[in-house]
């Protein structure tokens, strides 16, 4: 997995509540092979019209935000379906950080597994970041996982918290399966203790 330590990059404001994973990647693309890249599927029906042309008004399509690698989002971002493809689509598009007041639990877990940093900040701070990058499109925002801080374009610093285990996984790009294999003896012992309960009838 790709490590995440810090990133200074342009941020794009999409400050809407309840953007679900069906919107992030519509179900009709889920059967596609990953190697083809999922970038074009991200927010497909917000970005592209029926004829395949871009919808110029949509914020991701505006030239000032083309290089954005940080997404500023609304509450409950990534709610709904567990599809990890929603994270693949964000990553393949180029995002490494999503900053929102809250996230769908399954989505936030999927982010960590793919080197995408989900940062939770209070709604007022997300709104302030959105305001600054709307006034000055392309202005850089910094997300630092070592110091657990986000720096706004005007230099204000917003601290955030993250589960220490998840932080370590991201900072080191840890392979969780490899880590868990170190507990093989304990897993086997648990299975021995519970064998009668585990058996299917």
Partner 1 sequence: MQGASVPSAQTLLDKIWSNHVVHQNPDGQSLIYIDRHLIHEGSRQAFDLLAEKGLSARRPDLTFGTPDHYVPTAGRNAAAGWDPDRRAVVEALRENAHRDGIALFDVGDRRQGIVHVIGPEQGITLPGMTLVCGDSHTATHGALGTLAFGIGASEVAHVLATQTLWQRKPKRMRIRVAGQLGPGVSAKDMILAIIAHIGAGGATGHAIEYAGTAVRALSVEGRLTLCNMSIEAGARSGLVAPDDTTIAFLSGRPYAPRGAAWDDAVLRWRALHSDPDAVFDREVVLDGAAISPMVTWGTSPEDAAPVDGRVPDPGSEPDLEKRRAMIRTLDYMGLAPGDSLGDMAFDRVFIGSCTNGRIEDLRAAARILGGRKAAIPGLVVPGSGLVKAQAEAEGLDRIFRDAGLEWRDAGCSMCVGMNGDLVASGQRCASTSNRNFVGRQGKGARTHLMSPAMVAAVALTGRLTDVRRLAQGG
Residues lying near partner 1 in the complex (CB under 8 A): 15-18, 20, 22-23, 26-28, 30-31, 34, 45, 74-76, 79-85, 87, 102-106, 109-110, 113-114, 127, 163-165, 176-177, 180-181, 183, 186-187, 190-191, 194, 196-201
In 59-123 the beta strands, taken as DSSP E runs, fall at 70-73, 97-100, 117-120
Alpha helices in the chain (DSSP H): 21-24, 44-47, 85-93, 105-113, 123-135, 164-172, 176-181, 184-193, 195-198
Least distance to partner 1, CB of residue 58, Å: 12
Pairing of strands 149-151, 140-144: antiparallel
The token duo for 88 is 């693949």
Beta carbons within 8 Å of 31's beta carbon, 6+ residues apart: none
Least distance CB 117 / partner 1 (angstroms): 16
Alpha-carbon gap, residue 169 to 3, rounded angstroms: 8
Residue 155 or 185 with smaller CB distance to partner 1: 185
Nearer CB in complex with partner 1: 84/151: 84
Strand partners of residue 144: 6, 149
**Least distance CB 20 / partner 1 (angstroms):** 5
Q: Which is nearer to partner 1, 31 or 155 (CB)?
A: 31
> 46 or 140, CB closer to partner 1?
46
Q: Provide, rounded to whole angstroms, the least separation between the CB of residue 16 and partner 1.
A: 5
- Dihedral (CA of 138, 13, 71, 122) sign: positive
In the complex with partner 1, which residue's Cβ is closer, 33 or 155? 33
Least distance (Å) between residue 190 CB and partner 1: 5
């Amino acid at each position: 997995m790709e490590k995440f330590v810090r990133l200074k990059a342009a941020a794009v404001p999409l400050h809407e509540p309840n953007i679900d994973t069906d919107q992030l990647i519509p179900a009709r693309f889920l059967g596609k092979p990953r190697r083809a890249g999922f970038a074009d599927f991200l927010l497909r029906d917000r970005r592209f019209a029926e004829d395949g042309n871009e919808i110029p008004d949509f914020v991701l399509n505006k030239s000032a935000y083309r290089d954005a690698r940080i997404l500023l989002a609304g509450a409950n971002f990534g709610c709904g379906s567990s599809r990890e493809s929603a994270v693949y689509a964000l990553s393949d598009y180029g995002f490494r950080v999503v900053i929102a007041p809250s996230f769908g639990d399954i989505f936030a877990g999927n982010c960590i597994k793919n080197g995408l940093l989900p940062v939770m900040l209070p709604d007022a701070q997300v709104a302030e970041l959105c305001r600054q990058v709307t006034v000055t499109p392309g202005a850089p925002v910094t997300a630092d996982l070592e110091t657990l801080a986000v720096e706004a374009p005007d230099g204000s610093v917003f601290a955030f918290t993250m589960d220490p285990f998840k932080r370590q996984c991201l900072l080191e790009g840890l392979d969780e399966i490899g880590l868990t294999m170190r507990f093989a003896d304990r897993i086997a012992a648990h299975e021995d203790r519970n064998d009668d309960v585990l058996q299917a009838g």
